[in-house]
Chain A
Amino acid sequence: MELTANDALNILREVMDPEVPVLDVVALGIVRGVEVVGDRATVRVTPTYSGCPAMRVIEREIEAALLRRGLREVTVQTVYSPPWTTDWLSDEAKERLRGYGIAPPGKVADTPLVALGPTVRAAVACPYCGSTETTLNSEFGATACKAIHVCQACRQPFEEFKAL
């Protein structure tokens, strides 16, 4: 049975981001197109962050997932334009993040270029207790895509998938 591009896309919904294993690569918004001709597929992928070390793993897993389902040749092409943005995450994907304990990204807003005073940012709701009594600890976390916050209400440190 021949796979259609849509079948291939559905297969990719089973390929998870190794660093955020509740998000598949389609929900993450990095799959920019799939073409299937006979038993050959081309998948266009755009990186999240330029230096994200997970990208190479993800590309290999995309290839492996499609080869396992009977395709003979899989090409993963990197495209840069338009650049990936967290605005591409669906509401459902954001809920999955929250359930996993990571605050979902807000809208990419016009943040100030430089800090001309103490920076005030909209409070990020704690994914555990929902309180907005939270403090930003650092805009850089355990991976390129996450910031670190602390919830003052439940005393829980938590990560935020930061808007990009």
Chain B
Amino acid sequence: MSDSDLFEYLLRLGDDRLVLGHRLSEWCGHGPILEEDIATANIALDLLGQATLFLRLGGQVERKGRDEDALAYWRDEREFLNLQMLELPKGDFGFSMMRQFLFSAFSHFLLEELTRSAHADLAGIAGKAVKENRYHLRHSSEWVLRLGDGTGESHRRAQASLDELWPWTGEFFRQDEVDLMLQREAIAPDLEPLRKPWEDLVRELLQRATLTLPAAPMRMAGGRQGRHTEYLGHLLAEMQIVARSHPGATW
């Protein structure tokens, strides 16, 4: 394993949380009720915090003097390594909660494994994040249950969100040489054994929510290699404009 493999792996962990945190923050001031406005802002803040820690560590590993802000604000679209699902527009509230549920469930199993990473700082950050993630997972699962097993309209829209999101989950478990290099050093876990516990958990909740699991996931891919949907560029434009318009500004 080289430092650049570890750097890339940390960018993937950081970018997932930075991009999803940004999407969630778009609910701030637009939540369906005040409590949910506050909840989504809180979860966004947790994710931004986790992104900060992963990207900061990434910058230290890279040793080119880039801190978490430089990595967040001064990389372009093709340098972002997040899962494509996380950059999709926020949609309606049910769509955002369905995405949050699918990702938080994946995140739970991944972070649990990462707490046993041979890399002490990575394990430490994962140990913190996995506790916060439990709140995110429970919160989003409550909404999936409530909307799926709710009114005709909420059920229809929850199912539509699930149908739209499901193909993108194929990317969760895809692995490449970066993963394999880190697995060899026991820094990162093999993702394949996480697939079944994730599917079991998701399947059980969706069943309770009276939702129908779509057919096998298509294997959407490319986010980990910097290939993205048209949506990421727009997201970055909004996220990066202030930092890039006023380089070095402090307040």
Contacts and interface: CB of A to CB of B under 8 A. Distances in A.
Nearest to A50: B49
Contacts of A79: 124
Contact of B124 (A49, A81, A142): A81
Contacts of B138: 111-115, 119, 139
Interface in A57-114: 79-85, 111-114
Contacts of A113: 108, 134, 137-138, 141, 201
B129 interface: yes
A160 B101 CA distance: 24
A132 B47 CA distance: 33
A138 B35 contact: yes
Interface string A5-31: 000000000000000000000000000
Contacts of A119: 138, 142
A115 B144 CA distance: 9
A42 to B, nearest CB: 18
Interface in B89-115: 101, 105, 108
Interface stretch (B38-46, B215-223, B226-234): B38-46
B125 interface: yes
Given A80-B128, A138-B38, A114 B137 contact: yes
Interface in B113-150: 120-121, 123-125, 127-129, 131-132, 134-135, 137-139, 141-142, 145
Interface in B15-64: 35-36, 38-39, 41-43, 45-50, 52-53
A84 B130 CA distance: 12
B128 A116 contact: no
Given A113-B137, A114-B201, A142-B38, A80 B124 contact: yes
25 contacts: A49-B45, A49-B128, A50-B49, A50-B125, A51-B45, A79-B124, A80-B124, A80-B128, A81-B127, A83-B124, A83-B131, A84-B128, A113-B134, A113-B201, A114-B101, A114-B138, A116-B204, A137-B35, A139-B138, A140-B39, A140-B41, A140-B43, A140-B139, A144-B46, A162-B135
Interface of A: 47, 49-53, 79-85, 111-117, 119, 137-142, 144, 148, 162, 164
